[in-house]
């Protein structure tokens, strides 16, 4: 059985594109990583922590863990603490470019694969009115970087994997699953 170590409804939808039947067992542990690491290593470390935690209680299954971070001007932007934090993040990203990294860890038996995907994202210029309406709608409050690429009006362009920005790089996960020994 394949297990997704995430409660994210977006990751669930994306995994269904490549694996029709799987179980969801969210990791319970906190999301802490060494902030001195490069962003790609932070995302990989967080994904591995989630995967390892769930795998420890499901060692006969294949477990997939993911973690998505947003990086702007060298700083990692996590999920916003509240609406004001989300609005401040959106104002900072408005009209500018940042990148999104999703770490992926997959474990099966004695095998453990860890990788990541990186996508560059350019924002539209967002008015204060747009930001207020967007934040009031609630969408940014559970997302790294305070936005969803699928939300209308936020993203002007992206370079790389769309599904990576949503939260699970489908092509990479499919390729990693294919690398696992039977």
Q: What pLDDT is stored for residue 175 in this prediction?
A: 97
Q: What pLDDT is stored for residue 35 in this prediction?
A: 78
Could you tell me the fold of the domain covering 2-179?
A: Maf protein (3.90.950)
Q: What pLDDT is stored for residue 30 in this prediction?
A: 66
Nearest to 43 by CA among 3, 100, 98: 100
**Structure tokens of 116?**
């990541």
67 is catalytic: yes
Helix axes 83-93, 128-136, angle to 10 degrees: 140
Distance in angstroms (rounded) separating the CA atoms of residues 156 and 121: 8
Q: Catalytic: which of 34, 52, 67, 142? A: 67
Q: What pLDDT is stored for residue 115 in this prediction?
A: 98
Buried b (16+ CB within 10 A) or exposed e, 91-113: ebbbeeebbbbbbbbbbbeeeeb
Backbone angles phi, psi at 35, to 5 degrees: -65, -15
pLDDT by position in tens, the chain (length 182): 999 999 999 999 999 999 999 999 999 876 677 878 899 999 999 999 999 999 999 999 999 999 999 999 999 998 899 999 999 999 999 999 999 999 999 999 999 999 999 999 999 999 999 999 999 999 999 898 999 999 999 999 999 999 999 999 999 999 999 999 76
Q: What pLDDT is stored for residue 108 in this prediction?
A: 97
Residue extents of the structural domains in the chain? 2-179
């Amino acid at each position: 059985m394949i297990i997704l170590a995430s409660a994210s409804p977006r990751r669930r939808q994306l995994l269904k594109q490549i694996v029709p039947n799987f179980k969801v067992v969210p990791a319970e542990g906190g999301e802490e990583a060494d902030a001195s690491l490069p962003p790609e290593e932070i995302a990989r470390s967080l994904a591995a922590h989630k995967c390892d935690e769930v795998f420890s209680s499901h060692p006969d299954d294949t477990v997939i863990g993911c973690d998505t971070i947003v990086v702007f001007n060298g700083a990692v932007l996590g999920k916003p603490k509240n609406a004001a934090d989300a609005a401040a993040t959106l104002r900072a990203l408005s009209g500018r470019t940042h990148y999104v990294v999703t770490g992926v860890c997959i474990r099966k038996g004695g095998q453990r694969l860890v990788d990541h995907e990186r996508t560059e994202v350019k924002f539209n210029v967002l008015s204060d009115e747009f930001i207020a309406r967007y934040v009031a709608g609630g969408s940014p409050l559970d997302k790294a970087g305070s936005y969803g690429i699928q939300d209308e009006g936020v993203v002007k362009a992206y370079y790389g994997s769309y599904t990576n920005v949503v939260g699970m790089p489908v092509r990479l996960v499919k390729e990693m699953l294919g690398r696992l020994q039977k």
